[in-house]
Amino acid sequence: MKKYFSVAILLIGFYLNGLAQKTGVNTKHPQGVLHVDAKKNNATTGAPTGTQPDDDFIVDANGNVGIGILAPSTRLHLRSTGTPAAPIPAIRIEDGTQGANYVLTSDINGSAKWVHHPVMAANVVGVASNPATVVVSNYGGTGTGSGSLYRSTGFTITLTEGDWIVSAGLTFVEMTAGPNNAAFWQRAYLSSSATQLQQNGFSHLGVGGINTCYGGPMVFNPKIGFVTGSSVINVPSGTTTTIYLLIENKLPSYYTYQSDFYENYFYATPIVR
């Protein structure tokens, strides 16, 4: 009798040990070490089929975790019921750094955060005043702006926080009274003011600081010139700033500038340090 009793105890032990290896919640047929059937809609016998695993959570014998899938192939395997035509997000991370069109990146230790990556961010195109801005150089002469070292091009651009490459190109014509009708150098600047050179709400990251500028030669024959260039600026965290594109004012009639010349451009490209 003792012999049979011992065998029975041993068999019960094997049975209980087998049960301990798999735990099911809302299912009598767990497919892993831990298997949760949230909607309790799995088959009463055998493995779940069709859409039954869509609401399931599982930890398999390798320690892999699956949500919406019973055979996870990685440490964490998420599967939603979305399709290419109608996607359904399978993950959502809200840590305070999230934002529209941000991408998830990590540091050297693998700690992740959301960043406004240029791959996902569009260029910002500057806008010109309407109607067109026309400037005839007049420093020391008469008329609007004759006492100012800088004149507005009519272009502005509004940028949010981060680093930006700001590019500009401006056409000048009718160089009728340059110094002895010789070529001269013309400059353009970024400013937080439409009338004077100042740098509030952004900073240049180049060696020129506030004096950073775009430049180009103006020639008397064929009386045309083009100012072009790019500069890297930073807009402080949590701020938005409007930047004006100014041109250096010259003595009367050195040049004529017009904002709607077809060659003109003014735009910014976001970058990540």
Identity of the residue numbered 236: P
Surface-to-core class of residue 109, CB atoms within 10 Å of its CB (0-12 exposed, 13-18 middle, 19+ buried): exposed
Surface-to-core class of residue 137, CB atoms within 10 Å of its CB (0-12 exposed, 13-18 middle, 19+ buried): buried
96 in helix, strand or coil?
coil
- Tens digits of residue pLDDT in 193-206: 999 999 999 999 98
| Domains of the chain, first to last | 1-80 (no CATH), 124-271 (2.60.120)
CA 87 to chain centre: 22
Residue of 91 and 122 predicted with greater confidence: 91
17 in helix, strand or coil?
helix
Q: Where residue 26 falls among pLDDT bands split at 50, 70, 90?
A: very high
Residue 61 has pLDDT above 90, yes or no: yes
Dihedral sign, Cα of residue 38, residue 41, residue 46, residue 49 = negative
Instruction: Catalogue the E-assigned strands of 6-90.
Output: 23-25, 34-37, 56-59, 65-67, 76-78
- Tens digits of residue pLDDT in 238-253: 899 999 999 999 999 8
CB of 244 closer than 8 Å to CB of 271: no
Q: Report d(CA 222, CA 224) in Å as an integer.
A: 6
- Tens digits of residue pLDDT in 132-163: 999 999 999 999 999 999 999 999 999 998 89
Predicted model pTM: 0.64
Q: Which residues, including other chains, have CB under 8 Å from residue 181's CB and lie 6 or more apart?
A: 220
